[in-house]
Amino acid sequence: MISVFVPSHITGFFSIHDNPDPLLKGSLGAGVLLDKGVITEIDFKENFDLGGVNDNDLNLDSLNSDELLIIINGKRDEYNEVIILKTIHLMKKALDKEDISLSGVVINQIIQVPIGCGFGTSAASALGVAISINELFDLGLSLEECGQFAHLAEVELGTGLGDVIAELSKGIVLRTTPGAPGYGEAKSIVPHEKTGFGVFESLNADFYIITKSLGEISTASIISDPKHKKLITQVGEKTAEEFNKKDDGIVIGSKFKNKFNVAVDSEFNEEETIKKFMKSSLFFARKTGLISDELLELVHNLHGKVIGSSMAMLGNTLFAIATEEQKLKLEAEYYGEFDFYKLETEGIRIIK
Ligand SMILES: Nc1ncnc2c1ncn2[C@@H]1O[C@H](COP(=O)(O)OP(=O)(O)O)[C@@H](O)[C@H]1O
Ligand SMILES: CC(C)(COP(=O)(O)O)[C@@H](O)C(=O)O
């Protein structure tokens, strides 16, 4: 069996960049990767242990039929399988070329975070499907090419713009050119890009993401609405400009060389960068009017207890980033009220 883990991605701020070519259409902005996301398992039915799947929809007929079987969180899920079917449809040419059919295949997805709440689960689902099919059938596609199918599925359904390219990265991700992987550009700003000499390898990446989801927001309804689109892009571009400014002494991913001729950022400070990212995210959430009063109250309550907090784009979800010490205190104070994740620093994992 092939198993693929794709981290979830919470966007803090973004701007929308249209293009007639869907591979170039996308968003700019910044977000954070979590150590929980979507696990996609794939194999042929005869090799698959469906013992743990206990659902009325999965009757003997569907188990005995030769059709592709998609299971999401232990059951059939016609709504959430749309992104999976879209990705497979887009891969049809690549599959037909090798004379490959998906009949008799099982795709089992475990979605570890809330769906539709701004965690980029649709992108993680699409990416997991493209990568796992590529692995199972040895299609020889690169991760970037798999990402292009996932990006196209997202853009066509209106479920996301920049999550796919971000989910191929690590830590806190800044998107600098819009588009699919291989067309757009994104860089990991925390933990800091490593130099060839591994200078930053030991930098502290013990940061935690704290969330509370109050409900879903339909991403498609916001990003296809002209009024929202205009405001999001105006505010998103202004936010990114401020975020990238260096006059506050906070270095975001730039480099200079030290006396040993090794590229380092002596001024670079992970916690300050996170603080700036969260401040920018809250500015964006407020100025676009996307954040509800309920979420603002939570932001207010967490003030001083975390590095910063804001709204997950696009879901009715609060997200905060905290140090280990802050996280331990919060766990004790708000027992059971929040979900806790670690900042994802490894990225996508494929287990064969
Ligand atoms: N217009 C739609 N039609 C069908 N399914 C949709 C549609 N929009 C979203 N979905 C499904 O809902 C899920 C969540 O999508 P999305 O709103 O992008 O959430 P998230 O914020 O978690 O990325 C996906 O699995 C996707 O397949
Ligand atoms: C914010 C969003 C447009 C949607 O994110 P989600 O609702 O999590 O699918 C994202 O894809 C981005 O471009 O930053």
Domain boundaries, the chain: 2-51+61-194, 207-342
Mutate to test the pocket of ligand 1, among 10, 14, 159, 167 (most ligand atoms within 8 A of CB): 159
What is the Å distance from ligand 1's center to 102 Cα?
23
What is the rounded distance in angstroms from the CA atom of residue 292 to the CA atom of residue 316?
Answer: 8
Tens of pLDDT, residues 78-133: 999 999 999 999 999 999 999 999 999 999 999 999 999 999 999 999 999 999 99
Mean pLDDT of 299-307: 97
For residue 177, give the 3-state DSSP assignment: strand
DSSP string spanning 234-301?
Answer: HHHHHHHHHHH--TTS---S--EE-TTS-EE-TT--HHHHHHHHHHHHHHHHHHTT-S-HHHHHHHHH
Higher pLDDT, 270 or 262: 270
Q: Whose CA is nearest to atom 17 of ligand 1?
A: 116
The predicted structure's pLDDT at residue 201: 47
What is the Å distance from ligand 2's center to 313 Cα?
6
Mutate to test the pocket of ligand 2, among 163, 169, 175, 291 (most ligand atoms within 8 A of CB): 163
Q: Which ligand is nearest to the CA of 31?
A: 2
The ipTM of this complex is 0.95
Q: Whose CA is nearest to atom 14 of ligand 1?
A: 116
What is the Å distance from ligand 2's center to 219 Cα?
7
Over the chain, what is the mean pLDDT? 90
Asked whether residue 257 carries a pLDDT value surpassing 60, the answer given is: no
The predicted structure's pLDDT at residue 40: 98
Pair 209, 342: CB distance under 8 Å:
yes
Pair 170, 33: CB distance under 8 Å:
yes
Pair 174, 187: CB distance under 8 Å:
yes
Pocket around ligand 2: residues whose beta carbon is below 6 Å from it?
11, 14, 27, 29, 118-120, 122, 159-163, 219, 223, 313-315
What is the rounded distance in angstroms from the CA atom of residue 234 to the CA atom of residue 221?
Answer: 18
Q: Which ligand is nearest to the CA of 159?
A: 1
Q: Whose CA is nearest to atom 9 of ligand 1?
A: 159
Pocket around ligand 1: residues whose beta carbon is below 6 Å from it?
79-80, 82-83, 115-122, 125, 157, 159-160, 218-220, 315
Tens of pLDDT, residues 138-158: 999 999 999 999 999 999 999
* Selection from 226, 28, 211 nearest residue 121 by Cα: 211
Tens of pLDDT, residues 176-198: 999 999 999 998 888 765 555 55
318 membership: H or E segment, kind and range:
strand 316-323
What is the rounded distance in angstroms from the CA atom of residue 47 to the CA atom of residue 315?
Answer: 37
Q: Whose CA is nearest to atom 3 of ligand 2?
A: 160
What is the Å distance from ligand 2's center to 164 Cα?
9
Neighbouring CB atoms inside 10 A of 194's CB total: 13
Going by their DSSP bridges, the two strands 69-72 and 172-177 should be labelled as unpaired
| CATH code assigned to 2-51+61-194 | 3.30.230.10
Q: Of 2.40.160.20, 3.30.70.890, 3.30.930.10, 2.60.40.420, which CATH number belongs to 207-342? A: 3.30.70.890
9 Cα nearest atom in ligand 2: 8
